Structure 1
Amino acid sequence: MKTYIHKILVFLLIVSFLLIQIGYNSAPSNSIFSAFVVLIKEGVKNSFGFDNFNLKTNYSYYLVEFLLACVVLIIATIRSNTKLMIIALIIFVFMWFMWFKMLQSIINSNLYLVTSIPFLIIITALGLKLLMTKKVSF
């Protein structure tokens, strides 16, 4: 039963992260998911580019970061590895915070923070559930 709850919470965590709204200046807001869809479409059409000189506006890095964090979290959930799940949650929180700090001058910060509330609630609930179900020693 515990693994099903963990799997459901991990699924909700990933979905809530993808639904965080980002608005560029006065443009209508879009979710991170729709930004990734546009990025993948443009990447397929024009080939993905990884420009090392401007990390802040090269969104291919953000997509790779998200995919790697999701892979680590999904593998940890499938294997029921509590330590790895906690590390993956820390990676997700760090990634969320770094995206906020790096893109703060570009996106609407208030919208990003307000739409991040479900993500933060789910990640806190999952983290507390993991810490309460099993004593973890690093």
Structure 2
Amino acid sequence: MKSFPVAGGRSVSLALFSDVSNSRELLDLMQSGKLEPEAAFLNASLITESLKRCGIADDTQYILAARFDASDEEMKALEKLISGTEIDLSELETRADQPKILKQYKITPQELSISTLPEAIVCRIAARDAL
């Protein structure tokens, strides 16, 4: 788990999990409003897409958990809810599902020959915002 400062003196705490086996249970808790402590669960394979599709699915095995202004006790309670292995946040980029990302953003091999994947994604997002 790692905390990052955000605007207004607040913080966001993040924890990355692999091999999660209870994503259906986590999804049910979120949808019923019974998740305690409250947190956001995102499919870490496609984070932008997971925000559009309400976080995780029944079979999500790679989860990024996030909570604003979390205490150590709240994050420990959150970790206990997730049946998986906590891994370092630095693995987020290397474990992303690159073929799905390429398909989602319609990035071609020719484009990757002259730019990086993050640059291509930023270009797509900027172009959408400009239109």
Please say whether Structure 1 and Structure 2 have the same fold, judged by a TM-score greater than 0.5: no
Q: TM-score, normalised by structure 1?
A: 0.28
Asked which structure has the greater RCO (Cα within 8 Å, sep 6+), the reply is: 1
Which protein is richer in helix relative to its size? 1
